[in-house]
Amino acid sequence: MVQHRTAEGRAGSRPAAARPAELSRTLVAVLALACAVTVANIYLSAPLLGLVSRTFGISADRAGLVATAGQLGYSLGLLLLLPLGDTVRRRPLLILLVLGTVGGLSAAAAAPGPFAPAGAVLAAGAFTVIPQLLVPVAASLAGPEQRGRVVSALQAGVFTGAIAARVAGGALGEFAGWRAVFAAAAVGTAAVGALTIALLPRSADVPVASPGMPKPSYPALLASLPGLLREPVLRRSLLLQGTAFAVFNMVWTSLVFLLTGPGYGYTTLGASLFGVFGVLGIAAAPFAGRAIDRFGPVPVVGAGFAGITAGGALLAAAHTGWVAAAAGIAVLYAGLQAAQVGNQTAVLAARPEAAGRMNTVYMFGTFLAGAAGSGVGAALYEAGGWTAVGTAATGTALAGAALWSLFALRARR
């Protein structure tokens, strides 16, 4: 991690005239809404897989390719499209991303055969990296004195959208069909995209440039990504957040098996509604943002890991009753939210002129760690049931907390 004064000093070293103006509350709210609506597109297909399977008469594993395609598309978008935010004008790039997302969602809604939804969702996932474009833009506009609060507001939108996709998507699909869900998502993305583009300040349209350095070409942009791992802040933040996201996905992926199994006997819709308890955890975002602006990201990330560990321990006892499961989800979400806001704020402050690429490496690595956590969680559940999942998740969270302690001790020295 990096001491807050270091990040603040780098941002504050620019001439006064070049310092970004404060964001209005209205613009922050619109950007957070855009993050919520667009990030939901990544997770929409998960609660709809059974409906897709019945429509085309295909097996569950073949229908599952739709959800896999969305995750794969998002990964490709992070690697191939997001770095452009460091060199091209943001408004045309945002227009391209919105149009591509709306086109992919519309194609999914009208898919004629069993393979068409997967291809359409892959395209929509690739273009819906809009939240990860908006977060660095907002951070650059905010300035060091309110960066934590602004990043936390947009991250609250991201987490809210992820929850809403699972809950609202499943509910709408149950009553109106899966095609209606994708059509509604296309309309929502178009509306919020148009509003964001209209309100985006002119100062946000131009990327932050390195003094005396020419703009790199697109191949040079991609080639520069691995070298960014030489930045200590990026390495540490990625390692910590990757661990946190792996824990989250480990339990979240396996929890549906527990809730729909013999012990609980919930329907898929009933199990998805448990995500509502995560909203309680999202309330931690404003407190995390204010704490970052006052104390720096290091203690906030530490508090996040305390919450992740406590949430993992509560969820380890989820087989005993729904209260432990609900409390575990809320506490785990709160911890993950605090850790994400702290780690991402540190990453974006370290290299403002390369914020898009820094965010690319950070989010892509975190996403890979989360995917690994999902796979491990499913395998552990198959091998040892919920007890194995809960034990592994809590142990991984404790390991992450130990890493944070080591980094914090080094930072103090």
Q: What is the pLDDT along the chain (413 residues), one digit of tens a residue?
A: 444 444 433 333 333 334 444 578 889 999 999 999 999 998 887 777 777 777 787 766 676 677 778 878 888 898 899 888 888 888 899 999 999 999 999 998 988 877 788 889 889 989 999 998 998 888 888 777 777 888 888 888 888 888 888 778 777 877 888 898 899 999 999 999 999 999 888 877 676 655 556 677 788 888 989 999 999 999 999 999 999 999 988 887 777 778 877 777 777 667 767 777 877 777 777 777 788 888 888 899 999 999 999 998 998 888 888 888 888 888 998 899 889 888 988 898 888 778 888 989 998 898 888 878 877 887 888 888 888 988 999 999 999 999 999 988 887 77
Provide the pLDDT for residue 268: 65
Number of domains in the chain: 1
Query: How many CA atoms lie within 13 Å of 287's alpha carbon, on the beta-carbon side?
Result: 14
Is residue 305 a contact partner of residue 206, using CB atoms and an 8 Å limit?
Answer: no
Domain containing residue 65: CATH number = 1.20.1250.20
Cut 0.85: pTM above it: no
Give the range of the structural domain holding residue 203, as residue numbers without chain letter. 4-412
pLDDT of residue 102: 96
Residues in the chain: 413
| Dihedral angle of Cα 89, 91, 92, 96, to the nearest 10 degrees | 130
For the stretch 103-146, pLDDT in tens is 999 998 988 877 788 889 889 989 999 998 998 888 888 777 77
| Rounded CA separation 348/140 (Å) | 8
Single out the residue of 367, 360, 373, 374 nearest to residue 399, CA to CA: 373
The answer for 385, left when phi > 0, alpha when psi is -120 to 50, beta otherwise, is left
pLDDT given at position 209: 57
pLDDT for res 409: 86
Which residues contact residue 194 at a Cβ distance below 8 angstroms, ignoring those fewer than 6 apart? 98
CA 320, CA 409: separation in Å to the nearest integer? 38
Q: What is the pLDDT of residue 278?
A: 76
pLDDT, tens digit (0-9, with 9 covering 90-100), for 53-105: 777 877 666 766 777 788 788 888 988 998 888 888 888 999 999 999 999 99
Contact present, 242 and 361 (Cβ < 8 Å): no
**Can you give the C-alpha Rg of the chain in angstroms?**
21
